[in-house]
């Protein structure tokens, strides 16, 4: 029931690039910066990108974020086996004064 839509899965070979889209509306992505989280199975989510394009300390520059209109994108270059995880976008939903997460995307390294 999330208001942020992501593709269920993406995959690529090692060292290749993947992009994950996050589609919303004017009341969420259209008005607020997006953040991205990585969740390895059995562990807590980890912040990857905040304020659309910024990376917390310790996050490699292989991870990048962009945002335009009512959509956002996470890019991962130089794909590694350690990148296999579920990835979620998130942002503030202004119409509901709520935080919303995306539907999640499973990244598989072939």
Partner 1 sequence: QVQLQESGPGLVKPSETLSLTCTVSGYSINSDYYWAWVRQPPGEDLEWIATMIHTGTTYYNPSLRSRVTISLDEAKNQFSLQLNSVTAADTAVYYCARQVSGLGSYHDYWGQGTLVTVSS
Residue 25 binds to partner 1 (criterion: CB under 8 A): no
- Which residues lie across from 66 on neighbouring strands? 73
| Residues near partner 1 (CB under 8 A), total | 29
Q: Which of 44, 61, 82, 110 binds partner 1 (CB under 8 A)?
A: 44
State the burial class of residue 55 (Cβ atoms within 10 Å of its Cβ: 0-12, 13-18, 19+): middle
State the burial class of residue 4 (Cβ atoms within 10 Å of its Cβ: 0-12, 13-18, 19+): buried
Residue 63 binds to partner 1 (criterion: CB under 8 A): no
Q: Which of 10, 18, 20, 35 binds partner 1 (CB under 8 A)?
A: 35
| Span of 12-20, 77-85, 96-104 interacting with partner 1 by CB under 8 A | 96-104
């Amino acid at each position: 029931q999330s208001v942020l839509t992501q593709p269920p899965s993406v995959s690529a070979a090692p060292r290749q690039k993947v992009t994950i889209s996050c589609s919303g509306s004017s009341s969420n992505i259209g008005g607020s910066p997006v953040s991205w989280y990585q969740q390895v199975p059995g562990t807590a989510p980890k912040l990857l990108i905040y304020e659309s394009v910024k990376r917390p300390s310790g996050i490699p520059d292989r991870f990048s974020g962009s945002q335009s209109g009512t959509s956002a994108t996470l890019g991962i270059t130089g794909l590694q086996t350690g990148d296999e995880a579920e990835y979620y976008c998130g942002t503030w939903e202004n119409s509901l004064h709520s935080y919303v997460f995306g539907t999640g995307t499973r990244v598989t390294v072939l």
